[in-house]
């Protein structure tokens, strides 16, 4: 069942409605995505579209508010660098990516903003997979100083053991066929063989995608989010206001451990 989105986005709420929703269920959902190549059949923003849909449906079904989307993510560094060369073959990927330190420090300050806005639980859903360990590192570092319930996952992690994630293949395109079918051009799947752009990061099994499978993936994902938020402890007293300066020592500790960042592991780029 798809729930029609109705006034759950922070950006669309007026003060009275924001406060009412927050007080009823003080959880905020942050969708994270990226514009990157997803073959010839899908739009660049597939990662973002998935994350926004899951966050919005979760807020509609379980309560809470959807934060403004973070639509820039980490790419071109660490393990991403050789992967990108392999699936693009030297073609310009037309990415909207940022280096890890910018994304991770921004996430830290977003946690501060969420806490200052009165939220007691934070859900981060990333449609861009494989960077989530570093996202959790930031979330855990913040919560170690200022305790707050949090759940940080990429969308394939939500359905691990039931469905196998991929990039621009059966898994991802099935989701898009369910939630935004008009954005899919499945008749272009064969372009990977002859188009000047080549494969453009498209997975060979993309033609196996189906809206029915996508519905199963999406519903299982939303259920997993619901299971997580219903374990949150949301009865804390209103916290004191955190100034921006309070984030500086936390970030300094995270930055000092750059050698542990997954997004820089095996990196051969200037970052």
Long-range contacts, 216-220 (Cβ 8 Å, 24+): 216/163, 217/159, 217/163, 217/171, 217/174, 217/175, 217/178, 218/53, 218/54, 218/57, 218/175, 218/178, 218/179, 220/158, 220/159, 220/162, 220/163
Q: Annotate 101-129 with b (16+ C-beta within 10 A) or e (fewer).
A: bebbbebbebbbebbeeebbbbbbbbbbb
Return d(Cα 73, Cα 184) in angstroms, integer: 23
Q: How confident is the model at residue 269 (pLDDT cuts 50, 70, 90)?
A: low
Strand partners, 31: 125
pLDDT digits 0-9 by tens, 122-139: 999 999 999 999 999 999
> Across the chain, what does the average pLDDT equal?
95
pLDDT tens for residues 213-235?
999 999 999 999 999 999 999 98
User: Per-residue pLDDT tens for 12-35?
Assistant: 999 999 999 999 999 999 999 999
Domains of the chain: 10-263 (3.40.50.10310)
């Amino acid at each position: 069942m798809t729930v029609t989105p109705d006034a759950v986005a922070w950006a669309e709420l007026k003060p009275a409605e924001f406060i009412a929703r927050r007080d009823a269920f003080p959880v905020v959902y942050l969708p994270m995505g990226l514009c990157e190549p997803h073959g010839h059949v899908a739009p660049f923003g597939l990662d973002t579209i998935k994350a926004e849909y899951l966050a919005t449906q979760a807020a509609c079904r379980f309560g809470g508010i959807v934060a403004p989307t973070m639509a820039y993510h980490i790419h071109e560094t660490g393990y991403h660098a050789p992967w990108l060369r392999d699936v693009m073959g030297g073609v310009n990927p037309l990415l909207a990516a940022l280096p890890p330190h910018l994304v991770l420090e921004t996430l830290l300050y977003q946690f501060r903003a969420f806490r200052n806005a009165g939220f007691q639980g934070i859900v981060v859903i990333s449609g861009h997979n494989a960077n989530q360990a570093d996202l959790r590192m930031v979330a855990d570092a913040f919560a170690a100083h200022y305790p707050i319930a949090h759940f940080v996952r990429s969308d394939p992690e939500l359905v691990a053991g039931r469905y196998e994630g991929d990039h621009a293949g059966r898994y991802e395109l099935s989701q898009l066929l369910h939630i935004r079918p008009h954005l899919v051009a499945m008749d272009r799947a064969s372009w990977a063989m002859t188009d000047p752009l080549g494969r453009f990061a498209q997975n060979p099994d993309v033609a196996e995608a189906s809206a029915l499978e996508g519905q199963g993936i999406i519903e299982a994902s939303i259920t997993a989010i619901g299971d997580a938020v219903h374990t949150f402890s949301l009865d804390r007293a209103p916290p004191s206001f955190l100034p921006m300066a309070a984030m500086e020592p936390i970030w300094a500790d995270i930055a000092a451990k750059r050698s542990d960042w997954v997004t820089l592991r095996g990196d051969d780029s200037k970052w």
